[in-house]
């Protein structure tokens, strides 16, 4: 079988049963409800995009799936056979493991569900990444040759998906055959409201201004980013920087920020925007050779004025503590943060303007494959960053068992420090955001931990998603002062408990301004090297904010 037909796919929509779950847990959320849809896939999704593929005004789901299955290779050979005059055609059929990559598009229906738009589009290994514009009007595909745009056509051979080549510019990872789902290549770099393309090439980061797909593609700048390194350790390794796009100098235009491979945020580079998608030469921060101590862990706009602040982190743990205390400190590390303003040159002011102590982890290592649902984030919608930290609860035995099983059931508690109008960070008391979470350390790259990832009621504040308690997921609406009620505002009973936390994602899938929940449920693997099928359970927020 090559790929699934539309007819088969229809049958595979397991519970296309659109289940509306009304589970208001408090009067505040009386109008909140959830619509559930399940989608059957030949493997776990590598990427889910929301975009209006069929141009009917509703956001559809475009799902990239990579999987391995048994197929067959047919080899036709011409040979002589004893007793047969002349040549004989021989067809040899060889079972073979085949790697497939497909794009499945599920059209949003009027009743709020999804149905297959057409047959899945086979993706060649030359497709390296895909992304949707923020308004969902376009899906772009990064390929070995450049950039293509997804198009749904209904002419000629009937409804079909295809990739139309737009731009020819070979990316640096061409030929890898890897699919990199979260490259984050689309940004409005010139402030005109259209998303522009940031393309990593062997010569540097290329900027093509939007609107994407219009005209031949306008290369406006090519910047060689600092810090690229080549290492030889049993293989040849090239580390190529992908810049963070942040406004750091207050001119209203996004700048490029590149943390150092060796020093992370202790030494980094800023390429300030020169307008129109162009950038000034890299500026190394801090400028001196000596590293700042305590180390810088964050550089970004904390107070909402468009100018970045520096944050240093001092470890307050007692190095000479006994083992018992060290374990306690490993679970609840005491830390002091100091906030420093930037000068006009973006150099760090030596004296901090704010200093406070917290408990817990907030920042992971730069190349960490274990993204923490912590750090700075605007929780209460006031334009100022607040701080989330995590403390751990585990036993020594459990910690050691991670090494054997690569899975851990661990207690996590979240702590919040809310920033006020004066730039002070105050702890938010009376929260109960703890839970036990099963983590698969091998698969953490698949997704993010999603506790503070969405606004379910569309009020501009981040809500807290409690997803560490079996099939029950509760939503706690964010309030003023970064407060989250102990009692949930909405409870959702999942079809099945998530196998691990990284398989849960929170995003606004249908573009209604309210976050939705997406849970990947892989089936049990039946055969080694053959990818198990998976079900994508989507829980769409419904009702008035």
Residues 457-516 that bind other proteins (CB under 8 A): none
Q: Give least dist CB 364 to other proteins, A.
A: 6
Residue 179: partners with Cβ closer than 8 Å, 6 or more residues away: 46, 47, 64, 66, 101, 123, 127, 128, 129
When binding is defined by CB under 8 A, the residue of 3, 240, 353, 356 that contacts other proteins is 240
Angstrom distance (rounded) from CA 388 to CA 372 = 10
Q: Is 239 among the residues that bind other proteins (CB under 8 A)?
A: yes
Residues 368-387 that bind other proteins (CB under 8 A): 368-370, 372
Dihedral sign, CA of 165, 171, 176, 180?
negative
User: Is residue 295 within 8 Å of 333, Cβ to Cβ?
Assistant: no
Q: CB of 311: closest distance to other proteins in angstroms?
A: 11
In the complex with other proteins, the residue whose CB is nearer, 94 or 421, is: 94
Q: Which residues pair with 377 in a beta bridge?
A: 386
Q: What is the largest CA-CA distance in the chain?
A: 96
> Does residue 323 interact with other proteins by CB under 8 A?
yes
C-beta atoms surrounding 480 within 10 Å: 10
**With CB under 8 A as the contact rule, which of the stretches 6-14, 270-278, 293-301, 482-490 interacts with other proteins?**
293-301
CA dist., res. 196 & res. 207, Å (int)? 7
Closest approach of Cβ 468 to other proteins, in Å? Answer: 14
For residue 501, the 8-state DSSP code is: G
| Residues in 201-220 that interact with other proteins by CB under 8 A | 202
Among 405, 424, 460, 486, binds other proteins (CB under 8 A): 405
Stretches 20-28, 345-353, 400-408, 494-502: which one binds other proteins (CB under 8 A)? Answer: 400-408
CA separation for the pair 42, 102 (Å, rounded): 9
Using CB under 8 A as the binding rule, the residues of this chain from 256 to 275 that contact other proteins are 258-259, 261
> Site residues for other proteins, window 114-133 (CB under 8 A)?
128
Q: By C-beta, is 48 or 390 nearer to other proteins?
A: 390
For the bound state, the minimum distance from the C-beta of residue 296 to other proteins, rounded and expressed in Å, comes to 9
Instruction: Candidates 7-15, 49-57, 90-98, 113-121: pick the segment binding other proteins (CB under 8 A).
Output: 90-98
- Minimal distance, residue 180 CB to other proteins, in Å: 6
Kindly tell me which of 179 and 194 has the beta carbon lying closer to other proteins: 179
Is residue 81 at the binding interface for other proteins, with CB under 8 A as the rule?
A: no
Kindly write out the interface string for residues 324-353 of this chain, putting x where it contacts other proteins by CB under 8 A and - elsewhere: --xx--xx-x-x------------------
Smallest distance from other proteins to CB 195, Å: 20
Binding to other proteins by residue 84, rule CB under 8 A?
no
**CB-CB neighbours of 193 under 10 Å:** 9
Least separation in angstroms between residue 144's CB and other proteins is 11
Q: Which stretch binds other proteins (CB under 8 A): 20-28, 53-61, 93-101, 246-254?
A: 93-101
CB 185 within 8 A of CB 197: yes
Burial of 285 (0-12, 13-18, 19+ CB in 10 A): buried
Tokens (6 digits) for 361: 């982890």
Q: What is the dihedral of CA 416, 448, 491, 25, to 10 degrees?
A: 20
Is 283 near other proteins (CB under 8 A)? Answer: no
**With 0-12 CB in 10 A as exposed, 13-18 as middle and 19+ as buried, what is 538?**
buried
In the complex with other proteins, the residue whose CB is nearer, 314 or 497, is 314
- Quote the CA–CA distance of 418 and 481 in Å, as a whole number: 6
């Amino acid at each position: 079988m090559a790929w699934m037909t539309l007819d088969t796919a229809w049958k595979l929509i397991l519970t296309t049963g659109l289940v509306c779950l009304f589970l208001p847990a408090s009067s505040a959320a009386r109008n909140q409800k959830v619509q559930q849809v399940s989608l059957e896939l030949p493997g776990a999704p590598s990427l889910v995009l929301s975009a209006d593929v069929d141009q009917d005004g509703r956001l559809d789901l475009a799902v990239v799936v990579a999987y391995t299955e048994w197929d067959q290779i047919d080899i036709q050979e011409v040979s002589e056979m004893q007793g047969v005059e002349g040549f004989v055609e021989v067809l040899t059929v060889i079972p073979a493991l085949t790697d497939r990559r497909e794009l499945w598009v599920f059209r949003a229906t009027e009743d709020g569900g999804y149905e297959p738009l057409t047959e899945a589009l086979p993706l060649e290994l030359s497709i390296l990444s895909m992304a949707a514009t923020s308004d969902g009007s376009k899906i772009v595909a990064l390929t070995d040759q450049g950039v293509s745009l997804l198009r749904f056509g209904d002419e000629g051979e009937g409804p079909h998906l295809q990739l139309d080549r737009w731009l020819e510019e070979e990316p640096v990872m061409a030929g890898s055959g890897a699919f990199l789902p979260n490259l984050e290549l689309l940004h409005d770099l010139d402030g005109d409201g259209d998303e522009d393309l940031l393309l990593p090439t062997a010569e540097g980061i290329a900027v093509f201004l939007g609107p994407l797909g219009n005209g031949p593609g306008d290369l406006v700048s090519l910047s060689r980013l600092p810090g690229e390194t080549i290492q030889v350790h049993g293989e040849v390794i090239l580390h190529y920087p992908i810049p963070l796009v942040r406004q750091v100098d207050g001119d209203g235009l996004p700048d490029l920020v590149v943390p150092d491979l060796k020093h992370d945020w202790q030494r980094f580079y800023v390429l300030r925007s020169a307008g129109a998608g162009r950038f000034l030469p890299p500026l190394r921060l801090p400028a001196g050779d000596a590293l700042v101590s305590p180390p810088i862990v964050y550089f970004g706009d904390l107070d909402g004025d468009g100018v970045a602040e520096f944050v240093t982190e001092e470890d307050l743990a007692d190095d000479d503590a006994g083992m018992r205390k060290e374990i306690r400190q490993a679970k609840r590390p005491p830390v002091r943060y100091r906030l420093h303003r930037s000068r006009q040159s973006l150099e760090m002011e030596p004296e901090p303007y704010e200093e406070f102590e917290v408990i817990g982890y907030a920042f992971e290592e730069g190349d960490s494959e274990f993204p923490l649902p912590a750090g700075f984030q605007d929780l209460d919608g006031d334009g100022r960053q607040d701080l989330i930290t995590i403390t751990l609860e585990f036993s020594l035995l459990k910690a050691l068992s991670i090494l054997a099983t690569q899975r851990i059931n661990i207690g996590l508690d979240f702590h919040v420090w809310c920033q006020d109008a004066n730039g002070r960070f105050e702890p938010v008391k009376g929260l109960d955001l703890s839970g036990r979470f099963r983590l698969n350390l091998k698969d953490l790259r698949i997704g993010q931990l999603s506790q503070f990832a969405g606004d379910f009621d569309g009020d501009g504040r981040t809500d807290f998603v409690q997803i560490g308690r079996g099939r029950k997921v509760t939503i706690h609406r964010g309030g003023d002062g970064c407060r989250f009620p102990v009692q949930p505002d909405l409870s959702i009973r999942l079809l099945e408990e998530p196998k691990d936390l990284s398989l849960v994602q929170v995003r606004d899938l249908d573009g209604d301004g309210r976050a939705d929940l997406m849970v990947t449920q892989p089936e049990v693997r039946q055969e080694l090297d053959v990818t198990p099928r998976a079900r994508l359970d989507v829980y769409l927020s419904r009702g008035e904010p």
